[in-house]
């Protein structure tokens, strides 16, 4: 199938992945209301068609956290990407670099940061989960520094992992019984192309960044229990002060939805924030990020970089977010689907789709520079329906 949009990549991913993995990527928390709102609210924002404004030369390039970006789009940290395609993070980071899009690596990536660093020319961004063992955190930060990483994203919307019903139903979370393992084995057998690509060619299967604190043989199905035991739910602003002191590079807090938290982040020395609800995977019932963005951007008032994620499925969505105050966006599922569908070339295709969609939309909006977009491109200045 020729993939025309991100939705097509999702359909291919659904065919290619065992069900327990596809549902892990595709699903959200509880009733998935926030997950749906993210997409629906973005798509509900009408834009203004303008005419006769020389749009022969359109600039999509910008700068995000000190890095040049060919378009205002970065790849969000997505855990376990090494299971979507062989050496998934290496493939995605290479595709992102070639397209001029920053790549943010997850703490719980399949590959290690050193492996990915060896596969690309320039340092990427790194996302951190605070793990209870602070000795290990120090060592991880040392490794990040040694890998030349300058932009560190601390995820703050996951003091505990939320409940995702789909993962319970597929047996990914908590399915330890014999029946559950037989079910999973059958799923793997039904997807031989994936089993060969990831299971055989994608070895080894350890989580490269955290292998040092994970008991050997934890495996995919022990992973979620490990998370529950090892992620630190006691983190407060005091730990941000500790990290700010410890980390010399740029620090970004990912998972901010409230203006007062954004202000506190700036006061704590954050260089940026990501307005995010984790793609609707954490607090179900929280507002969509696009509806939270304007007030948060106002509260930051240019003192830090404002990125937004959750729900971005098209180039037009990117422009909607920029118009409402984001400096750039991150995409999560879009690249996870693409990687699962077609490996690195899928990620290249996804980024090309977004670029083309942005270019066409810019021309029809009568705009030529993404760095100058504001609410004037939105009907009623972007008031949500």
Ligand X SMILES: Cc1cc2nc3c(=O)[nH]c(=O)nc-3n(C[C@H](O)[C@H](O)[C@H](O)COP(=O)(O)O)c2cc1C
The residues binding ligand X (CB under 6 A) are: 24-25, 38, 76-79, 106, 108, 127, 155, 254, 276, 278-279, 281, 309-312, 331-334, 336
In the complex, least distance from residue 332 CB atom to ligand X, rounded to whole angstroms: 2
Nearer to ligand X, 150 or 276 (CB): 276
Phi/psi of residue 262, each to 5°?
A: -65, -40
In the complex, least distance from residue 24 CB atom to ligand X, rounded to whole angstroms: 6
84 is in an annotated binding site: no
User: Tokens 């704590």 sit at which residue?
Assistant: 268
In the complex, least distance from residue 256 CB atom to ligand X, rounded to whole angstroms: 11
312 is in an annotated binding site: yes
- CA-based nearest residue to 41, from 365, 335, 383: 383
- CA-based nearest residue to 370, from 9, 49, 80, 55: 55
- CA-based nearest residue to 25, from 83, 66, 99: 83
Nearer to ligand X, 83 or 295 (CB): 83
User: Tokens 């060592």 sit at which residue?
Assistant: 139
In the complex, least distance from residue 218 CB atom to ligand X, rounded to whole angstroms: 16
* Dist CA 283 CA 73 (whole Å): 24
In the complex, least distance from residue 321 CB atom to ligand X, rounded to whole angstroms: 11
How crowded is residue 167: how many other Cβ atoms within 10 Å of its Cβ?
18
Helix (H, G, I), strand (E, B) or coil at 255: strand
Residues annotated as catalytic are 278
254 is in an annotated binding site: yes
**Alpha-carbon distance values, 308 to 30, 149, 174, 274 (Å):** 22, 21, 32, 5
* Dist CA 345 CA 6 (whole Å): 14
- CA-based nearest residue to 155, from 283, 255, 232: 255
Nearer to ligand X, 166 or 281 (CB): 281
Helix (H, G, I), strand (E, B) or coil at 323: helix
CA end-to-end span of the chain, whole Å? Answer: 35
Q: Please give the helix or strand (H or E) that residue 152 lies within, else none.
A: strand 151-155
110 is in an annotated binding site: no
Question: 57: alpha, beta or left, given left = phi > 0 and alpha = psi -120 to 50?
Answer: beta
In the complex, least distance from residue 226 CB atom to ligand X, rounded to whole angstroms: 13
149 is in an annotated binding site: no
* Dist CA 32 CA 250 (whole Å): 33
* Dist CA 315 CA 101 (whole Å): 14
79 is in an annotated binding site: yes
Nearer to ligand X, 103 or 297 (CB): 103
Nearer to ligand X, 25 or 304 (CB): 25
Given a contact cutoff of 8 angstroms between Cβ atoms, the answer to whether 361 and 367 are in contact is: no
- CB-nearest residue to ligand X: 332
82 is in an annotated binding site: no
Nearer to ligand X, 280 or 367 (CB): 280
In the complex, least distance from residue 211 CB atom to ligand X, rounded to whole angstroms: 15
Query: Residues for the chain: how many in total?
Result: 385
333 is in an annotated binding site: yes
Nearer to ligand X, 331 or 338 (CB): 331
Contacts (Cβ under 8 Å, ≥6 apart) of 23: 166, 167, 169, 170, 172
Q: Which parts are annotated binding residues for glyoxylate?
A: 24, 129, 164, 278, 281
Q: Which parts are annotated binding residues for FMN?
A: 77-79, 106, 127, 155, 254, 276, 309-313, 332-333
Q: Which parts are annotated binding residues?
A: 24, 77-79, 106, 127, 129, 155, 164, 254, 276, 278, 281, 309-313, 332-333
């Amino acid at each position: 199938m020729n993939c025309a949009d991100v939705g097509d990549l999702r359909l291919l991913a659904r065919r290619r992945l065992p069900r327990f993995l596809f549902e892990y990527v595709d699903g959200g928390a509880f009733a998935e209301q926030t997950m749906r709102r993210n997409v629906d609210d973005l798509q509900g924002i009408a834009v203004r068609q303008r005419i006769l404004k020389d749009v022969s030369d359109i600039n999509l390039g910008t700068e995000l956290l000190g890095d040049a970006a060919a378009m205002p789009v970065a790849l969000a940290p997505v855990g376990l990407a090494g299971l979507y395609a062989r050496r998934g993070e290496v493939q995605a980071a290479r595709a992102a670099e070639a397209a001029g899009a920053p790549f943010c690596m997850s703490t719980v990536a399949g590959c290690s940061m050193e492996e990915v660093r060896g596969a690309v020319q320039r340092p990427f961004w790194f996302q951190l989960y605070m793990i209870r063992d602070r000795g290990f955190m120090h060592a991880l930060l040392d490794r990040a520094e040694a890998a030349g990483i300058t932009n560190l994203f601390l995820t703050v919307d996951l003091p505990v992992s939320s409940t995702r019903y789909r993962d319970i139903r597929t047996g990914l979370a908590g399915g330890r019984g014999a029946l559950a393992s037989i079910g999973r084995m059958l799923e793997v057998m039904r997807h031989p192309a994936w089993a060969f690509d990831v299971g055989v060619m994608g070895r080894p299967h350890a989580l490269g960044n955290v292998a040092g604190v994970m008991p050997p043989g934890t495996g995919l199905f022990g992973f979620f229990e490990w998370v529950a035991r090892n992620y630190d739910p006691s983190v407060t602003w005091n730990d941000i002060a500790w990290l700010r002191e410890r980390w010399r590079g740029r620090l970004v807090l990912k998972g901010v939805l409230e203006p007062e938290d954004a202000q506190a982040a700036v006061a704590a020395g954050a260089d940026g924030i990501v307005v995010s609800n984790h793609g609707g995977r954490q607090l179900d019932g929280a507002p969509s990020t696009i509806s939270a963005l304007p007030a948060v951007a106002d509260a930051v008032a240019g003192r830090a970089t404002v990125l937004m994620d959750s729900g971005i499925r098209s180039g037009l969505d990117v422009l909607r977010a920029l118009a409402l105050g984001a400096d750039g966006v991150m995409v999560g599922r879009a690249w996870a689907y693409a990687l699962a569908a077609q490996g690195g070339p899928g990620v290249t295709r996804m980024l090309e789709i977004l670029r083309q969609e942005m270019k066409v939309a810019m021309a029809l909006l009568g705009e030529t520079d993404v760095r100058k977009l504001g609410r004037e491109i939105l009907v009623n200045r972007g008031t949500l329906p």
